[in-house]
Structure 1
């Protein structure tokens, strides 16, 4: 019997051009699913079925994409929960966070809690053996940790997962997009309140070096502010008088 794997995908955004594209982490999640022999992959998106970027997922080799018709700024959680409960997949894969919108990374955890599934975050790879998943979990500094979980389980995929394959244009155009009507979803209300970002204080430039170098830097800063005096090869008495006058003006010495 083929293993049912649900892969949740979203619309990404290119960081330079701001053009819509397939999301990097979701594409890695789909790549992991495509590497499971004989798996029955259910590609699912909650949003606009007319978004052209969705076909980039079909170009990776999946024949069908199911789109749950949810308007913009709606809460996709109840819609995804109802669809996945009816589907009953053994594995649910998704990226750790979206590239657009809030991108908080909360959805995998909220979804796992609503489905009553365990969740393993930061997954870089997995193998299936006898109803259990042996997972490689990404840790800081390139380390990996082995984790074992019983099916069904929800896996949140990390950037350490394998690079996704290129999307073929012909496959993308041949793939089918199935529009699924769903009940009206409530608008998603982010926690807290929005306010303008505070202006960050400027970082002070740290001056390192010997005492003489720091003094020269201080004198240069004072000169740039219009308080300095430039002396070119002065007589010793004139140089001493200029230094004395400077120390008096700065309050270091008292006359």
Structure 2
């Protein structure tokens, strides 16, 4: 069965909830709608057969209701976005689990991982553990839902797909292999209602003790390889570098750090 042949009449009886977060562009760092979360919303619109109305799909966010990028999801054709107002340092698993139980969700769609915050990818697994529901990771499509059982198309490496049958209710994390989300329209996004519900949750003390710093890509050590064939040259160019040693200098003085760099450059033959 092709993705556009989904049984819309059966799907309209379902309760679909898509969990969304605030994304961050990997190059510019600008805040935006998250790519995988927007694909989850796109899949939810397909499952509910709303045709841009978004009335049967609940898009849920736990966090700050004043975040302007949440309206980017509403611009996909939704009339409202539901927000559980939480402290930024609070643990969202408990209030999210309680809300999903109360609303009677059949399918919960999430991204594989968030683009900001912890980005651990553990939220769908923790929700599945709390609710006692099955979870299907890295979903590319949901083909059909019949008799309380869904046929899910799971994304595998190298473009492969695997068909999985799972009973409702369940949680699915949507992979980047899922259909790309439609563009967000400014008019519907600005007119959408932000349905805010204030909830209380305990503060994550462990997270408050963390120290965050911008990630830096480590330079790849050059290695001269004498290859005779094109296959050997390609293998040498794509091989992962192996670090043989080194040390982390954090509390040493600037002079000591500079001397260590100078010694390393001499050992590698950069300086003669």
Task: Please give the range of the TM-score, normalised by the shorter of the 2 chains.
Answer: 0.7 to 0.9
RMSD: 2.8
The CA distance in 1 between the partners of 2:211 and 2:187, in whole Å, is 43
Tell me whether 1:147 sits opposite 2:158 in the alignment.
Answer: no
CA contact (8 A) 1:70 1:185 kept: no
Greater C-alpha Rg = 1
Matched with 1:236 is: none
Matched with 1:170 is: 187
CA contact (8 A) 2:42 2:182 kept: yes
The CA distance in 2 between the partners of 1:102 and 1:84, in whole Å, is 22
Closer, same or farther: CA 2–203 of 1 in aligned 2, 3 Å: same
Pick aligned residue for 1:22 from 27, 33, 50: 33
- What pairs with 1:53-202 in structure 2 (closer than 5 Å)? 53-126=69-142, 127-187=144-204, 189-190=206-207
Give deviations 1:199-228, integer Å, cap 9, x for gaps. 968624224269xxxxxxxxxx98972xxx
Give SS of 1:35's match.
helix
Matched with 2:3 is: none
CA contact (8 A) 1:75 1:188 kept: no
Matched with 1:32 is: 43
Give SS of 2:76's match.
coil
Matched with 1:208 is: 226
Give SS of 2:183's match.
coil
Closer, same or farther: CA 20–191 of 1 in aligned 2, 3 Å: closer
Count of paired positions: 215
Segment of structure 1 superposing worse, 80-89 or 192-201: 192-201
Closer, same or farther: CA 224–65 of 1 in aligned 2, 3 Å: closer
Closer, same or farther: CA 174–139 of 1 in aligned 2, 3 Å: same
